[in-house]
């Protein structure tokens, strides 16, 4: 009876070790451990050259610009009508940061879906901040004639709103 008990404990310990090793390995591969403090981690971005990759890179530049409070980077994403209406780079940044503070606070951005509707590319991402709050953003980007991405649609909601709708 003692041997059976010891064997059972050894099997349980081996299973727990295997699970822990699997989780540690997955976490290591999914998120870079050498990222500097304050850096934003981007997860599930397309790796191959494609329209999706170009859209993901634009989203990355926009989120990094918002996080770094780079008024010039954010200005580049504003459509001409908004540039004319707000007039200056700081005014555009202030408007976007007031409307979408989740981008400025993001520590991890996970790409979950890409699609196209007409000339607009859409991306759905999960945004996680340092405290673990999770938001869902649907971003519409349009490539203008000069080859610049413009933010033409943006909707950000707490993840809990998404769960409530299920």
The mean pLDDT values, 10 residues at a time, for the chain of 166 residues are: 55 44 37 57 84 93 95 95 96 96 94 95 95 94 94 92 53
CA pair distance 143, 149, nearest whole angstrom: 5
CA pair distance 58, 152, nearest whole angstrom: 13
Per-residue pLDDT, 45: 84
CA pair distance 128, 34, nearest whole angstrom: 18
Per-residue pLDDT, 26: 34
CA pair distance 31, 47, nearest whole angstrom: 15
Per-residue pLDDT, 17: 46
CA pair distance 132, 36, nearest whole angstrom: 18
Per-residue pLDDT, 32: 43
pTM for this model (two decimals):
0.73
Residue the block writes with tokens 């509707």: 117
């Amino acid at each position: 009876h003692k041997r059976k008990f010891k064997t059972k404990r050894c099997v349980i310990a081996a299973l727990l070790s295997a699970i822990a090793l699997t989780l540690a390995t997955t976490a290591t591969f999914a998120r870079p451990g050498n990222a500097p403090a304050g850096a934003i981690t981007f997860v599930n971005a397309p790796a191959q050259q494609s329209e999706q990759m170009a859209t993901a890179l634009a989203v990355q530049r926009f989120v990094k610009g918002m996080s770094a409070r780079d008024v010039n980077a954010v200005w580049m994403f504003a459509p001409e009508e908004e540039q004319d209406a707000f007039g200056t780079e700081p005014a555009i940044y202030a408007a976007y940061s007031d409307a979408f503070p989740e981008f400025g606070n993001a520590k991890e951005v996970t790409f979950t879906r890409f699609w196209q509707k007409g000339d607009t590319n859409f991306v759905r991402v999960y945004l996680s901040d340092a405290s673990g709050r999770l938001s869902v953003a649907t971003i519409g980007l349009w490539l203008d004639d000069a080859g610049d991405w413009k933010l033409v649609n943006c909707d950000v909601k707490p993840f809990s709103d998404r769960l409530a709708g299920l």
